[in-house]
């Protein structure tokens, strides 16, 4: 079956530091890949996505590239802010109903 593995947190960083969250997946077929973010007390919201190999998703300074050869979709941001403190979820979808398979989530804490 499908699965998503992402690095465990919490990840604690200082403001303006570089952030990487690793995500690898196992899937049949050709999945679409997503990063969702959950701020405290809120539901999830899409951060970025990529639908085919070598696509790069980007939003709010975050980037992730769909790497089919390494089955990875690592999230990066060059300079984090305190407002980036949240839980980040990697996810994939392979079926026509759009069902999402999520990773466990990585909590990121950015300190001033």
Partner 1 sequence: ETGVTQTPRHLVMGMTNKKSLKCEQHLGHNAMYWYKQSAKKPLELMFVYSLEERVENNSVPSRFSPECPNSSHLFLHLHTLQPEDSALYLCASSQGGTSDTQYFGPGTRLTVL
Residue numbers at the binding site for partner 1 (CB under 8 A)? 31-32, 34, 36, 41-46, 49, 51, 89, 93-105
CB of 65 to partner 1, least distance (A): 16
| Shortest separation between residue 77's beta carbon and partner 1, angstroms | 20
| Residue among 3, 37, 31, 32 at smallest CA distance from 19 | 37
Measured from the CB atom, is 68 or 99 closer to partner 1?
99
> Which one, 17 or 22, has the nearer CB to partner 1?
22
Nearer to partner 1, 1 or 112 (CB): 1
Minimum gap (Å) between residue 112 Cβ and partner 1: 27
Q: Which is nearer to partner 1, 82 or 104 (CB)?
A: 104
For residue 39, the minimal CB distance to partner 1 (Å) is: 10
Per residue, the 3-state secondary structure of the chain, as one string, reads CCEEEECCCCEEEECCCCEEECEEEECCCCCEEEEEEECCCCCEEEEEEECCCCCEEEECCEEEECECCCCECCEEECCCCHHHCEEEEEEEECCCCCCCEECCCEEEEEEC
């Amino acid at each position: 079956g499908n699965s998503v593995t992402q690095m465990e947190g919490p990840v604690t960083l200082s403001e303006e530091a570089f952030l990487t969250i690793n995500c690898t997946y196992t899937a049949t077929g050709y999945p679409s890949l997503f990063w969702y973010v959950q701020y405290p007390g809120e539901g999830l919201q899409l951060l970025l996505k990529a639908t085919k190999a070598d696509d790069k998703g980007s939003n709010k300074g975050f980037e992730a590239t769909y790497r089919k050869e390494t089955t990875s979709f690592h999230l990066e941001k060059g300079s984090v802010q305190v407002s980036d403190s949240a839980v980040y979820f990697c996810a994939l979808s392979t079926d026509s109903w759009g069902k999402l398979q999520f990773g466990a989530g990585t909590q990121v804490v950015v300190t001033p």
